[in-house]
Amino acid sequence: MTQKEFLNIVMPFKDKVFRLAKRLLISTEEAEDATQEVLLKLWNNKEKMEGYKNVEAFSMTMTKNFCFDKLKSKQAQNLKIVHNNYEDANTSLQKQVEVNDSVNWVARIIEGLPEQQRVIIQLRDVEEYDLDEIADMLNMNNTAVRVNLSRARKAIREKLTNTHNYGIK
């Protein structure tokens, strides 16, 4: 496989690799390092990649595993989820503040979810993978992915509703 062929395969989804890494790790720098490591591993194993049916799913699995290993290491004691990629130039300042506040609340709520639910939310709702692809990436069955996704969404919805109602039911 030539470098050009490799780049044609990998470049369309490298941003997804970065976003997943950023979701799981502390900072942009950590996510960039993780993305670079995954792309380097893909390059070093480019001959084996030709046999894979879905290189994108394989790379997302590699990213997930690399990030989990990094999270388990002692150097990653203060890693956290950060999500701030929503902007709309036509909204009022009041609306921007409300949207930013909601995004921050959702990020904090997602941060409090179990690890598996965090990853599934990222892959499904942010990266827009379908359930079968997520099941393959996480080595889970489709039903388990759907159940975890449902539970995560329910927890986010309940906590966000509770936050917006100021705890009043």
What pLDDT, in 10s, does the model give residues 144-154?
Answer: 999 999 999 99
**What average pLDDT does this structure show over 47-62?**
80
Identify the top-confidence range among 20-29, 57-66, 136-145, 156-165: 136-145
**Percent of the residues in the chain that have a pLDDT greater than 90, as a whole number:** 14
What three-state secondary structure class fits 123? helix
Whether the per-residue pLDDT at 86 is higher than 90: the answer is: no
78 compared with 122, residue with greater pLDDT: 122
28 with 101, same domain: the answer is no
Q: Which of 40, 84, 41, 34 is nearest to 64 (CA)?
A: 34
Q: How far apart are CA 40 and CA 94, in angstroms?
A: 44
Provide the domain limits for residue 110. Answer: 91-169
Q: What number is the average pLDDT over the span 130-156?
A: 91
Residue where a domain stops, chosen among 82, 116, 142: 82
Buried b (16+ CB within 10 A) or exposed e, 122-151: bbbebbebebebbbbbbebeeeebbebbee
Total domains in the chain come to 2
Q: Is the domain of 1 the same as that of 78?
A: yes
